[in-house]
Chains A and B, each alone.
Chain A
Amino acid sequence: GNSVTQMEGPVTLSEEAFLTINCTYTATGYPSLFWYVQYPGEGLQLLLKATKADDKGSNKGFEATYRKETTSFHLEKGSVQVSDSAVYFCALTSGTYKYIFGTGTRLKVLA
Chain B
Amino acid sequence: DAGVIQSPRHEVTEMGQEVTLRCKPISGHDYLFWYRQTMMRGLELLIYFNNNVPIDDSGMPEDRFSAKMPNASFSTLKIQPSEPRDSAVYFCASISGRQGGTGGNEQFFGPGTRLTVL
Using A42-B111, A43-B111, A43-B112 as known contacts, say yes or no to A101 and B43 having CB atoms under 8 A apart.
Answer: yes
Segment at the interface with A among B62-70, B72-80, B98-106: B98-106
For B, the interface residue count at a CB cutoff of 8 angstroms equals: 26
List the count of A-B residue pairs having beta carbons below 8 Å apart.
60
Cα A45 to Cα B108 with chains together (Å): 7
**Complex Cα–Cα for A36 and B110 (A):** 14
Residues of A within 8 A of B21 (CB): none
Q: Are A43 and B93 in contact (CB under 8 A)?
A: yes
In the complex, the answer to whether A97 meets B31 with C-beta atoms within 8 Å is yes
B72-102 interface with A by 8 A CB criterion: 91, 93, 95, 97, 101-102
Q: Which residues of B are interface residues toward A (Cβ below 8 A)?
A: 4, 31, 33, 42-43, 45, 48, 50, 55-56, 91, 93, 95, 97, 101-112
